[in-house]
Amino acid sequence: MASKTSLEDAVSELMDSPGGELLSVLRIHLRKRAFALFGLFLAGLIVGFPIAKGIIKWIIDEQRLPNDVYVIVTSPVEFIMLQIQLSASLGLFLAFGFLIVEASFRGVKHPAVKARIAELDLKAPRPSMAMVLSVVSSIGLAILGIIYAWELLTPMLLEYLSSDAQEAGLSTQWKLAAYVGFVLNLAIASAIGFQAPVVTMLALRVGMVDQKTITMYRKHIWFSSFVLGAMFSPPDPLSLFLVALPIILLFEISLVIDRILPKR
């Protein structure tokens, strides 16, 4: 009985803490926005279903497949389930995007945030040229990463993997879901990896780190690039190299740019 009472007291103390109050507010807010979030998810599911079909057809185009390679379905519903999976991802993206945007606007206008800004005698955050340039650069680099994955990385890896299997006397028939997931994972990894210059420049310009610290941990950053490549690509040296090399090059270029640009 004593342990039960102590547990209830601990839970009550936790809920009365600032973190507990924040969780309570978040739970109430999610309940209020449940209908809107479900509507966005459903809209993404409906709109994304025909789009997903076009994307799948685009990815499995015979002209992009290596010689003697065929994409097959292993169950009657595999193609439909893949469409649902991709369209559901779009719906989740819309719902979470809505939550993030709304939380940002509500957070800036929250009385506690305003009081803290006034206490520290800070200026209210406003969009600046640097912020706009960062957003534009991030979007441009993500598009560049997808183009790199689509035009260079994916064809080279598919040709390498198929020829390697054929030399071993194996029939190269790839499952539809596995093949589409492989291509999309490489595109996502490249889009994320190509953000290295933006992340590095922002960290340096806002004073989170300095050139000396980054240079000290350069090997760790390079290793993290290869870890990212291992997560989204086949575990062979060529795949790791092709995924990690652009990230490392862009990271090093951002360090050079930071040295050239004047400090403000």
Please state the pTM of the whole predicted model: 0.72
Angle between helices 176-193 and 237-260 (to 10 degrees): 20
User: Burial, 81: exposed, middle or buried (Cβ in 10 Å; 0-12, 13-18, 19+)?
Assistant: middle
For residue 81, what pLDDT band results from cuts at 50, 70 and 90? very high
What pLDDT does residue 61 have?
85
Question: How far from the centroid of its chain's Cα atoms is residue 211's Cα?
Answer: 26
With CA atoms as reference, report the closest residue to 256 among 178, 189, 202, 201: 201
Question: Each residue of 212-247: pLDDT tens digit?
Answer: 777 777 888 888 877 777 776 666 677 778 888 888
Each residue's pLDDT tens digit, 26-60: 677 677 778 888 888 899 889 999 999 998 888 88
pLDDT tens by residue, 157-201: 888 888 888 887 777 888 898 899 888 888 888 888 888 888 888
The CB-side HSE value for 42 (13 A sphere, CA atoms) comes to 6
Q: Which of 40, 22, 38, 44 is nearest to 106 (CA)?
A: 22
**Mean pLDDT value across residues 102-112:** 64
Alpha-carbon 9 to chain mean position: 40
Domain locations in the chain as residue ranges: 33-126, 128-264
